[in-house]
Amino acid sequence: MRQFSGRTSSPYCRVAARCARTPRRGPSQPCYGVAVGITRRILESAQSGLSRLTSLVIVDDEPLSHVEGPALQAELTVRKAARERAPRPPQDNPLAKLARSDPAARSARAAAAGERASRIHRERDERSARQRAAADEAFRRMKEQAARAASASSTAGTSSGTASSGRSHSARPPRPGSTDAQLLEWYRVLDLQVGADLAQIKTSYRQLMRKYHPDMHAGNPHKQKAATELSMRVTTAYNGLL
C-alpha cells in the first residue's frame, strides 16, 4: 500500500481545503456591522419624520414653502386660532384702564361708584316699599277682621237677649267682670260662637296668630305694637277657653 505523510504537495488537496465547509461548532466572528447599520437607518428615519411633524404643528414665523397645500392650509388655520387665543395687552383690559391715575380714569371710577351706590339705594328703597305695602295690607286685613268679629258678637248678643227676654222678663245680660261676660269676650276675640268645641278654638287661634303676628309689622313700630297687643289678647282668650 501506498503510505501518505502529513504533508502533501498535491494542488488538489489545497483546493479541497479552501472549499471545505467550516465546522458548525467552533469559534466564529460576530456580525455587528449589518445590525448596527439597520438600527441607525431606523433611528434616522424616525427623527426625520418627527422633525417634519413638529415643523407642521409649531406656531412660529418660519416659511412653509416645503409644506403641501392641504397641510399648509391646516397650519395657517392653527396659527390664526393661536393668535386669536393670545391674551390682550394689559393696557387693553377695562379694569386696568379704570385703575390708571389719569383724570379720565379717576372720573370713570367716580361715575362707576356713584352708579353703584344709586343702584344699591334704589333697590333698598324698593324693598322697603314692598315691605311697607305688605305691612299695610296685613294691618288692613286685621282691622277688617276685628270689625267683622265685633259686628258678629253684637248680633249674637242681640239675638240671645231677645230669646232670653221672651223666656223670662227678669233675665239680664251678664255684668261686666263676671265669668259669663269674660267667656263672651273670649269667644268674641277668637271670632267664635258661644259653645264652640275645642277643635274650633284651636283652629281659630292658629289662624288669628298667623294673620296678626307681630313679625309681619317689623318695619312699622306702631303697627307692630298694635299687633303685639292683639296677639296677646288672642292668646289670653285661647288659654281661658281651654
The residue extents of the domains of the chain are 49-85, 134-162+176-241
Q: What is the pLDDT of residues 126-149, one digit of tens each?
A: 988 887 777 777 667 766 666 665
- DSSP annotation of 164: H
Percentage of residues of the chain with pLDDT beyond 70: 52
pTM of the model: 0.30
Q: Which three cell numbers stand for residue 204?
A: 281659630
CB 238 within 8 A of CB 190: yes
Q: What is the pLDDT of residues 203-228, one digit of tens each?
A: 888 888 887 777 776 777 777 777 78
Neighbours of 42 (CB within 10 A): 10
Q: What is the pLDDT of residues 44-100, one digit of tens each?
A: 776 666 666 555 555 455 555 666 778 888 888 888 888 777 766 766 666 766 677
Neighbours of 35 (CB within 10 A): 10
Taking 80 as the threshold, does the pLDDT of residue 34 lie above it? no
Residue 148's pLDDT is 67
First to last CA, the chain: 154
- DSSP annotation of 212: S
The number of helix segments (H) and strand segments (E) in the chain equals: 8, 0
How far is Cα 123 from Cα 129, in angstroms, rounded to an integer?
10
Helix (H, G, I), strand (E, B) or coil at 117: helix
- In sequence order, what are the residues at sequence separation of 6 or more whose Cβ sits closer than 8 angstroms to the Cβ of residue 192? 200, 201, 204
CB 227 within 8 A of CB 214: yes
Q: For 134-162+176-241, which CATH superfamily applies?
A: DnaJ domain (1.10.287.110)
Q: Which own/partner contact pairs does 17-26 have at CB distance under 8 Å and 24+ positions apart?
A: none
Q: Which three cell numbers stand for residue 167?
A: 223666656
Q: Which has more pLDDT, 120 or 10?
A: 120
